[in-house]
Structure 1
Amino acid sequence: MELAGMTMYKTLVMTILALVGVFCYHKKIVDQEMNKKLSELVLSLFTPVLLFTSFQKDFSKELVTGLMISVLLSAIAFFLIWCICKWVVRKLDKDYAVVELVALMYSNCGFIGIPMAQGIFGAEGVFYMTAYVAMANFLLWSHGVIVMSGKSDIKSLKKVFTSPTIISIILGIICFVAQIRVPQIIEEPMEMIANMNTPMAMMVAGINIAQADLKQVFCHYRLYWLSFVKLIVMPFALVGVFYFVPVSQLVKTIVILATACPAGVTGAYLHFAMKKTPYMQQKYLL
Structure 2
Amino acid sequence: MELAGMTMYKTLVMTILALVGVFCYHKKIVDQEMNKKLSELVLSLFTPVLLFTSFQKDFSKELVTGLMISVLLSAIAFFLIWCICKWVVRKLDKDYAVVELVALMYSNCGFIGIPMAQGIFGAEGVFYMTAYVAMANFLLWSHGVIVMSGKSDIKSLKKVFTSPTIISIILGIICFVAQIRVPQIIEEPMEMIANMNTPMAMMVAGINIAQADLKQVFCHYRLYWLSFVKLIVMPFALVGVFYFIPVSQLVKTIVILATACPAGVTGSLFALRYEKDSVYAAEIFAMTTIISIVTVPFSMLFC
- Return the offset for 1:10: 1.1
CA distance in 1, matches of 2:136, 2:81: 12
Change (3 A) 1:260 1:283: closer
Question: Per-residue deviation at 1:32?
Answer: 1.8
Shift of 1:29: 2.0
Rounded to whole Å, the distance in 2 between the matches of 1:84 and 1:13 is 31
How far apart, CA to CA, are the structure 1 residues paired with 2:300 and 2:131?
28
Change (3 A) 1:56 1:48: same
Q: Kindly tell me: are residues 281 and 91 of structure 1, through their superposed partners in 2, closer, same or farther at Cα, counting changes over 3 Å? A: farther
The worse-fitting range, judged by mean Cα deviation, of 129-138 and 23-32 is: 23-32
Output the CA distance in 2 between the equivalents of 1:219 and 1:51. Answer: 38
Alignment of 1:10-21 (within 5 A): 10-21=10-21
Q: What is the Cα deviation at residue 90 of structure 1?
A: 2.1
Aligned equivalents of 2:302 and 2:245: distance in 1? 31
Instruction: Judge conservation of contact 1:264–1:285 (CA < 8 Å) in 2.
Output: no
Q: Offset of 1:285 from its aligned partner?
A: 25
1:222-264 residue CA offsets vs partner (Å, 9 max, x unmatched) = 1111011001110111111111111111111110111111222
Q: 5+ unaligned residues in a row in structure 2: which ranges?
A: 268-280, 288-296
Q: Distance in 1 between matches of 2:245 and 2:299?
A: 37
**Using a 3 Å threshold, how does the CA distance of structure 1 residues 48 and 93 change in structure 2: closer, same or farther?**
same
How many Å apart are 1:140 and its aligned residue? 1.0
Runs of 5+ in structure 1 lacking a partner? 275-279
Contact 1:99–1:270 under 8 Å retained in 2 = no
How much has 1:208 moved relative to structure 2?
Answer: 1.2
TM-superposition CA deviations, 1:12-69 (whole Å, max 9, x none):
1111111111122222222222212111111111000000000000000000000000
Query: Does the 8 Å CA contact 1:19/1:203 hold for their aligned counterparts?
Result: yes
Distance, in Å, in 1 between the alignment partners of 2:53 and 2:62 is 18
Counterpart Cα distance in 2 of 1:283 and 1:121: 13
- 1:261 is aligned to 261
Deviation at 1:148, TM superposition (A): 2.2
CA distance in 2, matches of 1:205, 1:282: 21
Q: Between 206-215 and 90-99, report the one with greater CA deviation.
A: 90-99
Deviation of the 1:91 alpha carbon: 5.1
CA spacing shift, 1:150–1:210, aligned 2, 3 Å: closer
Single out whichever of 141-150 and 241-250 deviates more from structure 2: 141-150
Q: Is the 8 A contact 1:66 1:248 kept in 2?
A: yes
CA-CA distance at 1:151 after TM superposition = 2.4
Q: TM-score normalised to the size of structure 1?
A: 0.91
Offset of 1:94 from its aligned partner? 4.2
CA contact (8 A) 1:17 1:202 kept: yes
Identity %: 96
1:184 maps to what in 2? Answer: 184
On the 8 A contact 1:148/1:273 being kept in 2, the answer is no
Q: Which of 284, 293, 301 is the equivalent residue of 1:271?
A: 284
Instruction: For residues 157-188 of structure 1, give each alpha carbon's deviation from its aligned partner in whole angstroms, at most 9, with x where no partner exists.
Output: 00001110000000000000000000000000
Query: Structure 1 217/282 Cα, relative in aligned 2: closer, same or farther at 3 Å?
Result: farther
Aligned to 1:74: 74
TM-score by length of structure 2 reads 0.86
Displacement of 1:93: 4.3
Superposition CA RMSD, Å: 4.7
Name the structure 2 match of 1:222.
222
Shift of 1:137: 0.7
Post-superposition offset of 1:120: 1.4
8 Å contact 2:109–2:264 — kept in the other structure? no
**What displacement does 1:96 show?**
3.2
- Distance in 1 separating the partners of 2:282 and 2:68: 30
Aligned partner of 2:83 in structure 1 is 83
- Tell me if structure 2 keeps the 8 A contact 1:271–1:281: no
- CA distance in 2 between partners of 1:243 and 1:87 (Å): 23
CA contact (8 A) 2:235 2:299 kept: no
Q: 1:40 to 1:2 in 2, by over 3 A?
A: same
